[in-house]
Every structure is written in structure tokens, then in C-alpha cells.
Amino acid sequence: FQRMTYRHAMDTYGTDKPDTRYQMHIEKLTDLDSFIENKEVSVRMLRVPGKGNELSKKKIEKLCEDVNLSLKRTNENRIVSVVAVKVEEGVNWGRVVMAGPTENALFLIKKGNDEYKTKILQSVGARSGDLLICAVGIGDDPCEALGYVRSTFGPDFMTEDEKHKLDFLWITDFPMFEVGANQKLKCSHHPFTMPNAEDTVALRDYANKGNSIDGLLQI
């Protein structure tokens, strides 16, 4: 079976159980970081071929709202800024639809000049009629938000043979812990995961500094 690391799966597909029968990869727009004051915030974009022409403004607005609803199912405090851009004739930046808090995403509208917007379109391989969905948020939230979009439209781009294809995949190197509120470590998947040997010292040092790991790690 094909093998893929957890980090690659999240960054590229927005989920730790990706459907690899179709492409639609999430892109990290690192050049946009200079426009964002909060350095914990990251920007991701997904190109949905041809959907800019197919979907009405109302349907795009509903999609943007559904993106945040998908995140809130696991934590009501999770939210991203979502910007949808229709790519117009001649591969130009077209109509924009926004949802969620706008302060982190306004740079796409106000600060991004035409030259920079063109650079964004080129970086994701945009074509006339495409729909670009941009998610701005903290941690993996933007990737997971676009993972929802990808799973929504992905089947539209599969042939009948691909829909019946079994594309097995091993996801490796799942993180044992992640940093939560107040910089506390919390279990990322389940408390019975064996840590990588090279991480044991770092985890022990963390515990020795008096930080609670909430009983999830006994060293």
C-alpha cells in the first residue's frame, strides 16, 4: 500500500483519511504571510476547477458558511476566514465572497494589488471559470476547512472507474500530542500511543518542568 505521513496528508488533503483517487491539492500561500499581523495565522487555498461558472453567488455563500460549520462540529470555538474568488475570463480575479471573521482575510481584497493577485492565480494554476477557496486561520483549521470543500466536490471530478477504485493508503507518524490552551500538551489521538523513541526525552523534560500532561503519559 501507498504510505503517507500524517503531516503530508493534513497539509495536502486537509484530513488524515484522504481520498487519493482525485487530485485537488491544497496549496500553502507562504508569500501572503507578510500581509498578516498575527504570525500564528496561516493561509491555504484550494482550486476547484470549473465551479466558478457553475455555482451561483448564493450557493458559494452557503458553501463558505458550511466550511465553518464543519469545523464547529468538533469544537465550537474553531472558525476560519473564508474567501471565495471566481476566476473570470482571461484568468482575472473576479467576484469575491467572504464568510467568517474578515479581519484576517481583508488583505486579499484591500492590500493585494493586481500584480500580487495575478501571482496567486498563477501559483495555484487557476483557469478561467475556476472557483478558488481561500481559508485563513490558526493551526490545521484552514487545511481541515478546505478538506471539507475537497470532499464536497471531489466526486464530481472522478470517472466511473475511479469511483469504483480501491486506493488503499497507510497514514504514518501520527502526532501523539498537540499543544492546547495555555501551552499544555493534550492527546492528539488516543492515550495509548507509543511515542517515537527520539521524542521520549523531550516529553520527559516537559513533565519534569512541572507541566501537567493530564495523566496521559506515565514515564
For the chain, list the domains and their CATH numbers: 2-163 (3.30.1360.30), 175-219 (no CATH)
Q: Which amino acid is at 38?
A: N
**Looking at this protein, which amino acid is placed at residue 14?**
G
Q: How confident is the model at residue 102, as a pLDDT? A: 60
Q: Taking the CA atoms of 175, 181, 185 and 187 in sequence, report the sign of the dihedral they define.
A: negative
Query: In this structure, what DSSP letter does residue 156 have?
Result: G
pLDDT tens digits, one per residue of 181-198: 555 666 676 656 666 777
Q: Which amino acid would we find at residue 168? A: F
pLDDT digits (tens, 9 = 90+) for 117-133: 777 888 888 888 999 89
Give 96 or 218, the one with higher predicted confidence.
Answer: 96
Tens of pLDDT, residue by residue over 139-153, are 888 899 999 999 999
pLDDT band at 218 (very low <50, low <70, confident <90, very high): very low
Instruction: Give the C-alpha distances (Å, rounded to integers) separating 93 from 87, 100, 108.
Output: 5, 21, 11
The mean-pLDDT minimum among 120-124, 188-192, 203-207, 210-214 falls in 210-214
The C-alpha atoms of residue 94 and residue 91 are separated, in whole angstroms, by: 9
- Closest by Cα among 168, 35, 53, 162 to 111: 35
